[in-house]
Structure 1
Amino acid sequence: MTARTERKPRRQVVLLRPVPGDTVIHRMWAGAKLLIVAGIGVLLTFYPGWVPIGAVALLVVAAAVLARIPRGVLPTIPRWLWVLLALGALTATFAGGSPVVSVGSVEVGLGGLLNFLRITALSIVLLGLGGLVSWTTNVADIAPAVATLGRPLRALRIPVDDWAVTIALALRAFPMLIEEFRVLYAARRLRPRDVDVTRRARRRQWAAELIDLLAAAITVALRRADEMGDAITARGGAGQISAAVSRPQRRDWIVFAIVAAVCGTALALELTVLGTSGIRT
């Protein structure tokens, strides 16, 4: 008998589900995390150089170590994604640009490749930053934090509390709907399929399966919404979601100072010693 290599099960994407723990990152105010993410996003938007990207990556890695994030939360990267990245790097190399490397009698410009690598690194850092917030923040803490941050907008008669409740409910429902869709898709794959010979019949079967999945997904979403509405009513209404006391603590101000110092140093190095290396269009 020939031994078959067993494939390791792919790890799915874990989002909006906090990793159990009681670290300093977990105990941070949710509003502080949102403000830090917003500030870093603005920094990398206007100065997407290697130094700011590296500084933010250092902060993300340090926070992940402090929060004791296990490697199991990272999803399995499919092979087709590596192929797309390699194809993108190859095509970006054809753009040329400085610096130029001489390979024998051929000169190859690496400017396009470096820009592609920088954009890729920027995307990975931002995804890691968002994932870190998702893995260390309870969804129930988002609504009070958003309500606190939007308190100055109440003078303009903006429904901040309603926005905070909407965001909290959307974040809470997103993981549940994803899990329901996975169950529906798995159940659909277990159903026997008719063997169709013609290509037209296969297209019709595929369209019918898609319609059935969409109808089942809408039904599941409505059922979940009804159950969530009953639960909210039993707990005192939607206003209780954003009514909890939420404000920054001393540790949040310390983290603010550390992030500001690291990002400020990276920005100063980018603008002075290493020169501006933003992406030019």
Structure 2
Amino acid sequence: MLEHIALGQYLPGSSVLHRLDPRSKLVGLLIFMLFLFISRHPLFLVVAIGIFIWTFSVSKVPLIYFFKSMRLIGIIIFITLLLQLFMNNDGEVLFQFFSVTVYSGGLTEGLLIGGRLFILVGMASLLTLTTTPVDLTDGLETLFSPLKKWRFPVHEMAFMISIALRFFPTLIEETARITKAQMARGASFSHGSPWKRVKTIIPIFVPLIVQSLKRAEELAVAMEARGYVGGEGRTKYRQLYWKGLDTLVISIITAYAVLGVLTRLL
């Protein structure tokens, strides 16, 4: 299941979403994330779903691949829904089974939170699926460039985030490989008491941490061997160009944010 996580992976393509400036995608996603949970109005949620469907349709990401990548968040959403069903006592009683009572407020709240989580993770996954790590780095560095006046290490921060996203799929593959190796040696991750299951996870995390430190050291040595000294005095081979389509995307997201504020006040 872990190998299907889309966050941090990139799918080459020539769709509209691939061609957008990374700055517009980053700013649009940030605004979308900030205002996604601001209103409970049905119209606002319908607009959020519409934006997500439109974004997914223009991204040209395979439907099967996307839903496979969302299986893990689907489990989290299901657990969230169950917690709301059994712990939220608002609204009318839908049904009662022995000592368990399900209320309409719990069902509504669970669906709202689950839907928002799905949209949020889906949009973040689409960002990395349609944007190369290099473009993400350039976009972040450009957006945070005003902080250079206060001697903030903008290039280093953007580069660090890009490296983290780049190695996220690698760590997932490494975790899957170590898990299979432990299972081949007789380890069981689905049987026994909860404490025993926790103990079986330790043989996974220890070699994973060792491998992560080893990769980090190899990357540092490679960067030093190539004369990397940070962002000072560096030039860019690829330049970012803001197009009319980027302005249109930001305008749509801004209108979405304004709608969220208005529905919150009504």
Which range, TM-score by smaller chain? 0.7 to 0.9
Change (3 A) 1:163 1:96: same
Q: Which amino acid aligns with 2:86?
A: T
Is 1:153 the equivalent of 2:144? Answer: no
| Alignment-derived partner of residue 3 in structure 1 | none
Change (3 A) 1:174 1:24: same
| Alignment-derived partner of residue 26 in structure 2 | 34
Q: Aligned-pair distance for 1:145?
A: 1.0
| TM-score of the two chains, using structure 1 as the length reference | 0.74
Aligned residue runs from structure 1 range 166-181, under 5 A: 166-181=160-175
Question: Alignment RMSD, CA only?
Answer: 3.5
Quick one: distance in 2 between partners of 1:217 and 1:233? Answer: 24
Quick one: distance in 2 between partners of 1:258 and 1:180? Answer: 40
Quick one: distance in 2 between partners of 1:80 and 1:172? Answer: 25
| Alignment-derived partner of residue 88 in structure 1 | 83
| Alignment-derived partner of residue 108 in structure 2 | 114
Is 1:225 the equivalent of 2:216? Answer: yes
Q: Aligned-pair distance for 1:178?
A: 1.4
Is the contact between residue 141 and residue 155 of structure 2 (CA under 8 Å) also seen in structure 1? Answer: yes
Q: 2:246 aligns with which of 242, 252, 274?
A: 252
Deviation string, structure 1 residues 170-223 (Cα, Å, up to 9, x no partner) = 1112111111111111111111469xxxx9xx95x974x544433321221122
Is 1:128 the equivalent of 2:127? Answer: no
Q: 2:13 aligns with which of 18, 21, 25?
A: 21
Q: Which amino acid aligns with 2:228?
A: G
Q: Which amino acid aligns with 1:126?
A: L
Change (3 A) 1:72 1:10: farther
Classify the secondary structure of the residue corresponding to 1:152: helix
Change (3 A) 1:236 1:250: farther
Deviation string, structure 1 residues 222-252 (Cα, Å, up to 9, x no partner) = 2222332244345542637985333533321
Change (3 A) 1:265 1:147: same
| Alignment-derived partner of residue 278 in structure 1 | none
Deviation string, structure 1 residues 34-55 (Cα, Å, up to 9, x no partner) = 1111111222243343322221
Quick one: distance in 1 between partners of 2:83 and 2:183? Answer: 33
Q: 1:57 aligns with which of 49, 62, 72?
A: 49
Quick one: distance in 2 between partners of 1:164 and 1:23? Answer: 25
| Alignment-derived partner of residue 216 in structure 1 | 207
Quick one: distance in 2 between partners of 1:163 and 1:264? Answer: 31
| Alignment-derived partner of residue 4 in structure 1 | none
Is the contact between residue 11 and residue 129 of structure 2 (CA under 8 Å) also seen in structure 1? Answer: yes
| Alignment-derived partner of residue 61 in structure 2 | 69
Quick one: distance in 2 between partners of 1:47 and 1:40? Answer: 12
Q: State percent identity of aligned pairs.
A: 24
Is the contact between residue 29 and residue 249 of structure 1 (CA under 8 Å) also seen in structure 2? Answer: yes
| Alignment-derived partner of residue 279 in structure 1 | none
Quick one: distance in 1 between partners of 2:3 and 2:204? Answer: 24
Gapped regions of structure 2 (runs ≥ 5): 96-101
Gapped regions of structure 1 (runs ≥ 5): 1-8, 276-281
In the alignment of these two chains, the number of paired residues is: 249
| TM-score of the two chains, using structure 2 as the length reference | 0.77
Change (3 A) 1:28 1:218: same
| Greater fraction helix | 2
